[in-house]
Chains A and B, each alone.
Chain A
Amino acid sequence: MWFFNSPEIVYGADALDYLEQIIGRRAFIVTDPTLHALGFTEQVAERLRRAGWETAAFPEVEPEPSLETVRRGADRMRAFAPDWIVGLGGGSALDAAKAMWVLYEHPELDPAAINPLERIGLGAKARLLTIPTTAGTGAEVTWALVLTDTAEGRKLALGSRETLATVAVVDPALTAALPPRLTADTGMDVLTHAVEGYTNNLHNDFCDGLCLKASQLVFDYLPRAVADGSDAAAREKMANAATIAGLGFGNAMAALAHALGHSLGAVFHVPHGRAVGLYLPYTIEFVANGGVSRYADLAHFLRLLHTDEPTAAAALAAAVRGLARQIGQPASVAELGISEADHEAALEKLCDFAEMDTQVVMAPRIPDRDELAQLYRYAYRGQSVDF
């Protein structure tokens, strides 16, 4: 028994206009200060007001939202008493909106305890609408959320199937102004979702097709979107890829690249997509070397025509590295500008965080402590994994 959860998804050109068709009264928009200053909040609020809604905004979500931010936002949410919560932004804003929704309806809960094992009881006061502005974390269609415990300095991979949005509005126009580096980072996140969603322990028939399609869209359109942000077709395909991959991995989990990437992000503040995308080829090699992988289907769908698993996995890892090079992404942790001394000094913490990450056990081959340390070192040096 397993689940497949999805919001209603409204996508494509002018999808944002759908806001005027949603039945509601009071919308609390959760976003970040940059998007707010750029007028994104107003684009959303204006449409809702035309439909007769009242709106308020919390434009204070920082990258890697903290438990404190979530509590603060939930307090303001309770004061406004919305019947719709609108998460507008990248993964940080969307995840913060999910967590604030929980605290709005259940102020007694500790946000760090939001988990998929306990029923929360959401939806009595409000529903969640998500509008991504990156392509992307897929957070608009997943129930997972990542918060940062600033006291411990670590990321918390949380979530409940109840924190899934009711509606996701995926309008590619909102990604048109994304700078190339952010386009590349978030695009590699999409690819990592697709590959890990296809190959982890909880892969399933409902998600496989989504993951294959999303990976194909990334290889076909991410270079175009990075090279020319005004390429509307590329922007639309990448927006779709992000949401499709979000459904794919969101209903099957991620895996080792995410565990390693979360840890690197927590310790060295590397953007999420850049981190997980960097580790992806190394984790492909590690899993394939254990003889437990299913990369051949992915490789075949990407027109990397190999019939045996080891060769296909190697080709896929090479293709991921090639894509990363093409779009100017780092191939090693050293290329991020982190010194080897700092990396070594943080290695114990990196391994501790990875071992505590819920995604580490989703990999078909789970590294032991020594292997984790080796993986981190190989990725630091840019050395293909041979163990």
Chain B
Amino acid sequence: MAYLFPSAEWFDQLKIEVNRSEAYANSGKTWEGDFHFIIKPWGDRQEPFKVYLDLWHGKCRDVYEVTGAEAKKPEFVIAGTLDTYRQIFSRKLDPIQALMTRKLELQGNMGKIMKAVKATLDLVKCCGLIDTKYADQS
């Protein structure tokens, strides 16, 4: 069954994949940090899709779609277009390359991110495990 990206269901599935990934459990074992992932508007959509993701010591503790004003301010904000996320999940675009070319925009402590490159890659691999249908394809 394909999950629509982006959607709350897709990110719920990501939490499942992250929490059963031995690779991420290892590479992310010292990570403490939460995120807003923002998918910029696509097609006729005016608003970005925003999701909150909390990663802690190799596990995903929480994930939910953010609608309206969000009181919680995460440590990191990552924003990109739908196509950028698609290219990353399908391994056509390296996530580090995406960050360095600013196809993914990152706010937060960059030094901390750069220390966690393997965990970042393992997280991306988890995304790639999800049977995905992209919102601009429906």
Contacts and interface: CB of A to CB of B under 8 A. Distances in A.
A317 B32 CA distance: 40
Chain B interface SS verdict (over half): helix
B94 A355 contact: no
B106 interface: yes
Contacts of A113: 109-111
B97 A202 contact: yes
Interface string B93-105: 0101101111100
Q: Which of B23, B100, B114 has the most CB of A within 10 A?
A: B114
A355 B23 CA distance: 11
Given A117-B99, A361-B121, A369-B26, A356 B115 contact: yes
B117 interface: yes
A232 interface: no
B19 interface: no
Contacts of A114: 111
The bracket for how many chain A residues form the interface is: 20 to 34
Contact of A361 (B100, B101, B106, B117): B117
A153 B23 CA distance: 25
A1 interface: yes
B97 A112 contact: no
Q: Which of A1, A3, A112, A114 has the most CB of B within 10 A?
A: A1
A361 B118 contact: yes
A360 interface: yes
B129 interface: no
A366 B94 contact: no
Contacts of B96: 358, 361-362
A116 interface: yes
B8 interface: no
A358 B110 contact: no
A369 B103 CA distance: 30
Interface string B38-50: 0000000000000
B65 to A, nearest CB: 26
Contact of A118 (B27, B101, B110): B110
B111 A358 contact: no
The bracket for how many chain B residues form the interface is: 20 to 34
Interface in B85-138: 94, 96-97, 99-103, 106, 109-111, 113-118, 120-121
A356 B118 contact: yes
A9 to B, nearest CB: 23
Interface in A204-256: none
A114 to B, nearest CB: 8
A349 to B, nearest CB: 13
A89 B110 CA distance: 29
Nearest to A111: B111
B117 A360 contact: yes
A117 B117 contact: no
Contacts of A289: none
B35 to A, nearest CB: 15
Interface in A301-345: none
A291 to B, nearest CB: 15
Q: Which of A117, A362, A366 has the most CB of B within 10 A?
A: A117
A369 B21 CA distance: 13
Contacts of A166: none
Contacts of A157: 114
Contacts of B101: 1-3
B97 A2 contact: yes
B33 to A, nearest CB: 15
B114 A355 contact: no
A1 B103 contact: yes
Contacts of B115: 356
Interface of B: 23, 26-27, 94, 96-97, 99-103, 106, 109-111, 113-118, 120-121
Interface of A: 1-3, 110, 112-118, 157-158, 201-202, 355-358, 360-362, 366, 368-369
Given A2-B101, A113-B111, A201-B94, 10 more contacts: A117-B102, A117-B106, A356-B116, A356-B117, A358-B114, A361-B117, A361-B118, A361-B120, A366-B118, A368-B26
